[in-house]
Amino acid sequence: MKEGIPVPAPIASMPGVSQHTLESLVKEARELVSRGISGVLLFAVPGHKDASGSQAGDPAGISQRGLTALKEELGDDAVVIADLCLCEYTSHGHCGVLDGAWVDNDATLERYEQIAVAQARAGADIVAPSGMMDGQVGAIRAALDDAGFTDTVILAYTAKYASSFYGPFRDAAEGAPQFGDRRSYQQDPANLDEATREAALDVAEGADALMVKPATHYLDVLRAIKDRFGLPTAAYNVSGEYSMLMAAAQRGWIDERAATLETLTAIRRAGADLIVTYHAKKAAEWLS
């Protein structure tokens, strides 16, 4: 969803996906749920960005308005998940508060606490911290509990890799870093052990479910985390994975339906209890 646009705006690098207005977001969510999809994950692009990402936790901000509208429309028909990060809201495009050229982990945790409570108040059933800050799950759990949201679920991005497959999403969310990259707080694609260590920390801090991102290139990570911890485990089939498949399908090089369902089946087979995917709308129709 994007603030300030009069009509949905197609995303050139993600065929079939658009930035939504508040009104079209609610309509799209209702259609998704009517096809059997059990939840929606909201990302929002504000009209104003600043160094602290102040709009991320603003009760009147576009994210909270979107969450409230979704919850009012969907009720108990589907879960509403809030992405909890700062990259879409900061002028510099990083996932936290900066101290010079570096992300200040502790200052960022304070912002995450405030954002989580704002999202829960707005109607989020689940908050999904994706910034990969040390201690983020424990800080968010404590803040939610202190504010009375003891039943709000935390879906922790426990293994979010510094992947080359995020490009189209960064176009969509308008959150690419203005300098540097995110390798200091995202994980090395070659490192499986780090993912399991991070998962153990998130579990100890109170995570209710764990996310692996990306999905198809990290199925071994997904299986390792599912086998070791046994918590509900999600996989994010990210924008670059989606866009590659769609580009090949549009050129007639592969069959879109067959390739999509094969991809989602592989992710499910590897252990995913939940799949976040831009293929959801068509896949639900094909599987019905």
Note the residue count of the chain.
288
Two tokens, residue 49: 């960005």
Residues 68, 14: Cα–Cα separation, whole Å: 26
Q: Annotate 27-72 with DSSP letters as a single string.
A: HHHHHHHHTT--EEEE--B-S--BTT-GGGG-TTSHHHHHHHHHHH
Is residue 244 classed as helix, strand or coil in its secondary structure?
helix
Letter for the amino acid at 242?
A: Y
How far is the CA of 154 from the CAs of 5, 76, 89, 129, 157, in angstroms?
31, 18, 21, 8, 9
Is residue 105 classed as helix, strand or coil in its secondary structure?
helix
Residues 94, 49: Cα–Cα separation, whole Å: 12
- Active site residues per annotation: 160, 213
Residues 3, 80: Cα–Cα separation, whole Å: 19
Nearest C-alpha neighbor of 236 from the set 203, 195, 201, 280: 280
Residue whose token pair is 């879906």: 155
Neighbours of 167 (CB within 10 A): 15
Kind of pairing between the strands at 18-19 and 9-10: antiparallel
The DSSP output letter for 188 is P
Nearest C-alpha neighbor of 158 from the set 127, 203, 224: 203
